[in-house]
């Protein structure tokens, strides 16, 4: 009977095309608006590395001023970045399974081909474990090893796009690249890798593109690489050299660890506390012990990657969907009442109330499905508009199968809900009242 009901639904839709179009349009617009905002929200709040988000932790140490907290609004919070020398020390302890210290820098790349011009590219300056820790996929080659890092060898891992730009997408491992007057050997080329949100650096933008290339942290001192990301300081210090900057109390290094299990969290915090207690003896870390580690989802919450505005917007857009559904209820009622003569005939010929009810609900479900399909097209347009308005990287706001199925599911279920009252009304019309007058 389901196939029969679907067939009848399409016939009924064709019978009154304007009414059908209005119903489909109401659902499509409702779905288009609500799913656009929901998709953005879903993208913003999705777990970017679900397979190990409980084992990756951002590290914070409270090295801030003894006179006031780092964040007046959240005084319990320590600075979300470390000083360079604290990061270097923690790296040297290698207490976790893996650990990375990193920051964002920019370098001028000299042309590979004579006809090209020099250009600036953004690099993540990081330590060896970055690639293994964050499951970065490689097309060619690999990252660098600890020996290379320790020796401050100039190697570079290129992003896929930069490799295409410089080497036409070919395997460039072993090729050389000159940046800031230093020749870098290409160690690897990574494949498309777009963790969204960019969990390892929400401080400098959770929805920024990943870096175009990666170079060893040990080159910081050698090349005097400066950060193009955020840095904070609280202490008045005289800084006249790069070395003084590296040894200052300014916080500008992001630090992540990977633990064997989430259960190792307490032990690692104890390790941080031991380190800080040692530093206290040297006159640093004058605030009470306040060292923490945050797993990926906690880190996203910490930085309010999903702004409250986004939640409000999702709520408002679903209210709009409700308004569209109220319109659909009115249209459905009109449409169903318009065919009460046929319904009465079917009742006379043996259809039970349940059969009629089911037939009407299948019809609104088909209308909902049609509205959902058009709504998906509107969502695609909406997401492109958002990318354009917010100047997001192309493809950043994606509409995956989960959201496609969610959109269709919401369209079908909501239209079925909208059809409940009209279907109930029409199946309760006494059949005898309509048969004589048809």
Partner 1 sequence: MLQMTQIQKIYRTELIETHALRELSVTVQEGEFVALTGSSGSGKTTFLNIAGLLESFEQGTYLLDGEDVSHLSDNERSAYRNHKIGFIFQSFNLIPDLNLFENIDVPLRYRRFPRADRKQRIEHALETVGLASRMKHLPAQLSGGQQQRVAIARAIAGEPRLMLADEPTGNLDTTMAQQVLELLEEIHAAGTTIVIVTHDQGLASRAQRNIQLVDGKVLEEESPHTQEEIPQAVMLNGGEPLAAQL
Residues in contact with partner 1 by CB under 8 A are 1, 4, 11, 14-15, 341-342, 345-355, 430-432, 435-436, 438
Output the smallest distance, CB 423 to partner 1, in A: 16
Output the smallest distance, CB 8 to partner 1, in A: 9
Please, which residues have CB within 8 angstroms of residue 108's CB and are 6 or more apart in sequence?
118, 119, 120, 179, 180
Element containing residue 108 per DSSP (H, E): strand 98-109
CB contact at 8 A, 157 and 130 = no
How far is it, in rounded angstroms, from Cα 347 to Cα 427? 9
Element containing residue 400 per DSSP (H, E): none
Smaller CB separation from partner 1, 132 or 429: 429
Alpha helices per DSSP H over 281-400: 296-302, 308-338, 340-348, 353-389
Rounded to a whole number of angstroms, the CA Rg of the chain reads: 30
b vs e for 205-222, b when ≥16 Cβ sit within 10 Å of the residue's Cβ? Answer: ebbbbbbbbbbbbbbbee
Output the smallest distance, CB 437 to partner 1, in A: 8
How far is it, in rounded angstroms, from Cα 183 to Cα 382? 45
Smaller CB separation from partner 1, 332 or 434: 434
How far is it, in rounded angstroms, from Cα 194 to Cα 84? 27
Smaller CB separation from partner 1, 288 or 350: 350
Output the smallest distance, CB 351 to partner 1, in A: 5
Nearest CA to 214 out of 251, 171, 243, 177 is that of 177
Smaller CB separation from partner 1, 331 or 351: 351
Query: CA dist 357 to 39, 121, 149, 345, 368, Å?
Result: 33, 63, 71, 14, 16
Output the smallest distance, CB 348 to partner 1, in A: 6
Smaller CB separation from partner 1, 23 or 397: 23
Smaller CB separation from partner 1, 20 or 248: 20
Output the smallest distance, CB 377 to partner 1, in A: 28
Handedness of CA 48, 200, 194, 170 (dihedral sign): negative
- Render 181-201 in DSSP notation, one character per residue: TEEEEEEEEE-----SS-TT-
How far is it, in rounded angstroms, from Cα 389 to Cα 36? 14
Output the smallest distance, CB 431 to partner 1, in A: 5
- Render 420-431 in DSSP notation, one character per residue: HHHHHHHHTS-T
Output the smallest distance, CB 339 to partner 1, in A: 9
Nearest CA to 342 out of 432, 436, 438 is that of 438
Q: What is the DSSP letter of 264?
A: G
Output the smallest distance, CB 21 to partner 1, in A: 17
Smaller CB separation from partner 1, 146 or 353: 353
Smaller CB separation from partner 1, 195 or 431: 431
Smaller CB separation from partner 1, 330 or 341: 341
Q: What is the DSSP letter of 253?
A: B
Output the smallest distance, CB 420 to partner 1, in A: 19
Smaller CB separation from partner 1, 277 or 352: 352
């Amino acid at each position: 009977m389901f196939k029969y009901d679907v067939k009848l639904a399409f016939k009924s839709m064709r019978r009154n095309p304007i009414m059908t179009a209005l119903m489909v349009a109401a659902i499509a617009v409702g779905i288009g608006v609500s799913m656009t905002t929901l998709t953005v929200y879903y993208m913003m709040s999705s777990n970017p590395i679900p397979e190990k988000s409980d084992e990756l932790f951002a590290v914070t140490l409270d090295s801030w001023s003894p006179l006031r907290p780092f964040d007046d609004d959240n005084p319990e919070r320590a600075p979300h970045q470390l000083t360079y020398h604290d990061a270097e020390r923690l790296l040297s302890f290698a207490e976790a399974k893996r650990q990375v210290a990193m920051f964002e820098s920019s370098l001028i790349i000299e042309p590979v081909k004579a006809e090209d011009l020099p250009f600036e590219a953004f690099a993540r300056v990081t330590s060896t474990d970055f690639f293994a820790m964050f499951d970065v996929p490689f097309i060619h080659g690999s990252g660098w090893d600890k020996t290379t890092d320790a020796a401050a060898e100039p190697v570079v891992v290129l992003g896929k796009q930069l490799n295409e730009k410089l080497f036409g997408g070919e395997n460039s491992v072993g090729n050389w690249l000159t940046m800031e007057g230093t020749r870098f050997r290409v160690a690897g080329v990574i494949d498309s890798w777009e963790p969204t949100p960019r969990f390892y650096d929400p401080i400098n933008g959770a929805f920024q593109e990943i870096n175009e290339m990666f170079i060893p942290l040990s080159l910081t001192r050698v090349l005097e690489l400066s950060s193009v990301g955020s840095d904070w300081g609280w202490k008045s210090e005289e800084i006249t050299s790069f070395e003084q900057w590296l040894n200052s109390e300014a916080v500008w290094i992001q630090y992540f660890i990977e633990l064997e299990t989430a259960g190792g969290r307490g032990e690692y915090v104890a390790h941080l506390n031991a380190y800080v207690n040692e530093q206290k003896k040297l006159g640093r870390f004058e605030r009470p012990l306040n060292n923490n580690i945050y797993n990926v989802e906690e880190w996203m919450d910490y930085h309010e990657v999903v702004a409250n505005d986004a939640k409000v917007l999702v709520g408002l857009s679903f209210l709009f969907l409700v308004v569209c559904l109220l319109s659909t209820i009115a249209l459905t009622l009109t449409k169903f009442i318009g065919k009460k003569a046929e319904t009465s005939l079917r009742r006379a010929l043996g259809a039970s109330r349940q059969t009629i009810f089911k037939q009407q609900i299948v019809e609104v479900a088909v209308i909902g499905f049609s509205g959902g399909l058009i709504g998906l097209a509107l969502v695609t347009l909406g997401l492109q508009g958002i990318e354009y308005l917010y100047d997001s990287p192309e493809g950043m706001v994606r509409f995956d199968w989960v959201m496609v199925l969610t959109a269709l599911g919401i369209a079908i279920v909501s239209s079925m809900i909208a059809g409940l009252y009209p279907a109930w009304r029409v199946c309760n019309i006494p059949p005898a009242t309509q048969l004589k007058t048809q």
